[in-house]
Structure 1
Amino acid sequence: MSAADFYHQNAASERLAASKADLPNRRRQHEQSAERWEQMARAAEETERRTLINEAQKRAFR
């Protein structure tokens, strides 16, 4: 499991918790947490993409 997959999984868990929350402030807290997990997932995906590009460039110059 990649870091991005882990972060997406946590975001989904937080969204599920938000859907079950009775109190509006708890629901909002879970939704905000889910968004932060998604932000981390996007950052991890970008890092993975850049790593692949860098590795391909290194192979091209060998």
Structure 2
Amino acid sequence: MEVGANLVTGVQKEAIVAGAEKMIDKRAGWPNPFGDGKAGERIVDIVMERQTGGRSLP
């Protein structure tokens, strides 16, 4: 909701159709509210660092 990627319309058919049309006409490119998408990679790096003590695996 905060970035404008969702719209609350209610339950009436006309409101749903109007909301869908409004969203179709909107341009995409909303900012990602969840970060850069690299959290999984950072988690793996941290786990590997702790498991190997910083040593490279063969």
Same structural fold, with TM-score higher than 0.5 when normalized by the shorter chain: no
Which structure: greater helix fraction? 1
Structure with bigger gyration radius: 2
* Greater RCO, 1 or 2 (C-alpha within 8 Å, sep 6+): 1
TM-score (norm 1): 0.39
TM-score (norm 2): 0.41
